[in-house]
Amino acid sequence: HVQLVESGGGSVQAGGSLKLSCTASGYTHVYTKYTLAWFRQAPGHEREGLASVTSAGVTTYAERVQGRFFISLDNDKSTLFLQMNNLKPEDTAMYYCAASIIVLQPASRLRQRPYNHWGQGTQVTVS
């Protein structure tokens, strides 16, 4: 069973940056094929996919964060990152990391349903 724990959220002024982390534990070393992703959910809105990375290192970004958010993975530390730059008030949300133990098709990588492991979330507030 895979556990995911996010950290790095907080309050920041518009135009600022934050770097979120997601540490995975629990048999992560046995999975050689996987897809990892960041999602967010603002009050009254559906959860939306932001960025994903596969075990092959292929990244996918939602158009609304393309060029501002960057996903990366430290395999040695089993940690997923999301570097967020030029933050805007509309980026305010709870941010979640998610994992799938298969390589998802490109069209599915930013959709919630295929992911079967989720963290508890970390709050990001931009004012």
Per-residue pLDDT of the chain (127 residues; tens, 9 = 90+): 789 999 999 999 999 999 999 999 876 667 789 999 999 999 999 999 999 999 999 999 999 999 999 999 997 778 999 999 999 999 999 999 999 999 999 999 999 999 999 999 999 999 9
DSSP β-bridge partners for residue 28? none
Whether the CB-CB separation of 20 and 84 falls below 8 Å is answered with yes
- Nearest CA to 82 out of 108, 44, 109, 49 is that of 49
| Residue 49: both structure tokens together | 């996919």
Query: Could you give the CA distance from residue 91 to residue 112 in angstroms, rounded to a whole number?
Result: 18
State the DSSP H helix or E strand holding residue 96, giving kind and residue range, or none if neither. strand 93-100
Instruction: Look at residue 28 in the predicted model and tell me its pLDDT.
Output: 66
3-state secondary structure of 30: helix
Strand partners, 100: 35
Task: For residue 25, give the H/E element and its range.
Answer: strand 18-25
Closest CA to 36 of 73, 91, 83, 64: 73
Q: Which pLDDT belongs to residue 31?
A: 78
Give the pLDDT score at 108: 95
